[in-house]
Amino acid sequence: MTELTAQTGTRTYGLFVDGQWEPAGSGRTFPVTDPATGATVAFVADAGADDARRAIEAAYRAFPAWSRTPAVDRSRILRHVAALMRERKEPLARQLTREGGKPIREARGEIEYAAGFLDWFAGEAERVYGDIIPHWTFGKRHLVLKQPIGVVAAITPWNFPAAMVTRKVAPALAAGCTVVLKPAEQTPLTALALAELFAQAGLPPGVLNIVPTSDPRPVGEEMLHNELVRKITFTGSTEVGKYLMREAAGQVKRVSLELGGHAPVIIFDDADLDKAVAGTLASKFRNMGQTCVCANRIYVQRGILDAFAQRFAEAVRSLKVGHGLEEDVQVGPLIDAAGLEKVKSHVDDAVAKGARVLTGGHVITGDGFSGGCWYAPTVLVDMHDEMRIMKEETFGPVAPIIAFDTEAEAYRRANDSRYGLAAYVFTENINRALRAAERLEYGIVGVNEGLPSTPQVPFGGFKESGIGREGGPYGIHEFLEVKMVGLAIDETVPGE
Ligand code: NAP
């Protein structure tokens, strides 16, 4: 990756536009910091609207040739990038931990997960089949073609700096689209490292462009109002997703939105408690509770409430908190001060309204924790529905446990949310498992497991959690238009 200038001993990274590493038009850069220490890790060129426009124009120029490149050749490049990611897993994972804070073992897992989207969509590129629809009268034929939408603008969040990029870029490129990507301000380095691997794998200039910025508004506005952009694909908060959807309506741009969640976990009294504790722990504390599919409300049937709460709190107490680069750390820092403040305010509000803290419930300070934003892994009981944490996404390491009595009550309370991304159920009863899977108004349901997602299956939400699906056989269709070709033919066979 081109090193433009040296500032205070750290590297400065450029924008990636039309296959070149270049400074922002304004000449400005912004710092990327380690959320565990507050130390500056690197500087990155700070794109503005003009830079975004140049990137969009490059993507537009690259589109005709890329969209006509045989699918098998597009696939080869995607597979090559996946192989390069695996070859460089360790440095990529370390960089991801440095900028995002997640424990190194999770970072390695994310690189593998992210490479999986490249492999999966390399295969899907070769399976973009059309249809022939039986004709309704003589002299007519009807064909259905699937064609790439065009230039795609992608906006990604900081909590999965690699996987959210490949989950969008891989299907877009597989479909034959070209892309301008704006990564999150906190974690642009992983996206830039991936751009380098795409270039190394032979991706033609302009097919993928990366424009990090410290101010998302001008870049976002250019993406929304530039007529060359045909599709906006976004992962992030519901609030920003609604804004993008409203603005995209101006040109009826296609949108895919992966937004916030508020995942319920339902643990029935017939559950295997070992599975329930392990699955809930995995879902809740991954990336310090900063994922859209993290457990945010844990409903436990009253008969097993105390047993579950005690075992779960014990498991949470034993989690090791520290800098993500230490090999055995399980919980790292929160991404920033605003994230910490939200977690703190949710816990304080719950405690003021009667919640009891079984473990945690405080900010962590002192040796090894200065400079970053740290909150102790927390378990709360004695919850009720008036608490903020019961309605809002916490995005932090806080697990509220709520008692319920009947199965019907569990579904009603779990579904009582404007979100509908992920839900989890623990039961050993197959009838109940199926009833729950069908009754829950969520795009993803984990049954007896806390981490159900893989690149091969659809990912996306009901209600205000989003529109569209990423991953699986569905993901590529978000980047394809359906075209009907009506063909009039002469049915007469000469000589017949
Ligand atoms: P966010 O504030 O919505 O930011 C997401 C991305 O949008 C970032 O790149 C951000 O840029 C950009 N952005 C913000 N305002 C914008 C604007 N006016 N125009 C254009 N772009 C804009 O969300 P976040 O706090 O980073 O991420 C956490 C949220 O993402 C949570 O709600 C979580 O549930 C959700 N999420 C959902 C999924 C899913 O698949 N459903 C996956 C992961 C996360 P800056 O970085 O410069 O602010």
Q: Does the domain spanning 263-447 belong to CATH 3.20.20.60?
A: no
In this model, does residue 5 exceed pLDDT 50?
no
For every residue of 93-153, DSSP letters joined together read HHHHHHHH---HHHHHHHHHHHHHHHHHHHHHHTT---EEEPPSSTTEEEEEEEEE--EEE
Do 234 and 258 touch, CB atoms closer than 8 A? Answer: yes
pLDDT of residue 368: 87
For the record, the structure tokens of 131 come out as: 């249809």
How much is the pLDDT for 451?
A: 96
DSSP code, position 494: T
**236 Cα: distance to centroid of ligand 1 (angstroms):** 3
Cα of 212 vs centre of ligand 1, distance in Å, is 13
pLDDT greater than 90 at residue 381: yes
CA angle 418, 232, 128 (to 5 degrees): 105
Does the beta carbon of 383 sit less than 6 angstroms from any atom of ligand 1?
no
Please check the confidence at residue 3 and state whether its pLDDT lies above 50.
no
| For range 442-453, the mean pLDDT | 97
Residue type, 282: A
Average pLDDT, the chain: 97
Any catalytic annotation for residue 292? yes
Q: Is 185 in the pocket of ligand 1 (CB under 6 A)?
A: yes
Q: List the one residue out of 191, 187, 136 whose CA is nearest residue 168.
A: 191
In CATH, the number for domain 3-259+465-483 is 3.40.605.10
Q: What is the mean pLDDT of residues 137-164?
A: 98
Q: Which of 292, 464, 470, 478 is catalytic?
A: 292
In the numeric block, the tokens 């710092």 are attached to 31
Q: Tell how far the Cα of 46 is from the centroid of ligand 1, in angstroms.
A: 18
pLDDT-based confidence at 9, cuts 50/70/90? low
- Residue-wise pLDDT tens digits, 213-235: 999 999 999 999 999 999 999 99
Percent of the chain scoring above 70 in pLDDT: 98
pLDDT at 4 over 80: no
pLDDT-based confidence at residue 168 (cuts at 50, 70, 90): very high
Spatial distance between the Cα atoms of 301 and 152, rounded to a whole number of angstroms: 46
Q: What is the per-residue pLDDT across 113-132, written as a single tens digit (0 to 9) for each?
A: 999 999 999 999 999 999 99
* Mean pLDDT, range 414-438, rounded to an integer: 98
394: Cβ below 6 Å to ligand 1? no
Mean pLDDT of the region 70-99: 98
Q: What are 247-301's pLDDT values in tens digits?
A: 999 999 999 999 999 999 999 999 999 999 999 999 999 999 999 999 999 999 9
> pTM of the full predicted structure?
0.97
pLDDT at 292: 97
Angle at 197 between CA 125 and CA 35, to 5 degrees: 115
| pLDDT, tens digit, 9 for 90 and up, residues 15-31 | 999 999 999 999 999 99
Annotated catalytic residue within 57, 124, 258, 478: 258
For a mutational test of ligand 1's pocket, the pick from 165, 182, 240, 463, i.e. the residue with the most ligand atoms closer than 8 A to its C-beta, is 240
> If pLDDT is split at 50, 70 and 90, which confidence band does 1 have?
very low
Domain ranges of the chain: 3-259+465-483, 263-447
Q: Which residue's alpha carbon is nearest to atom 36 within ligand 1?
A: 236
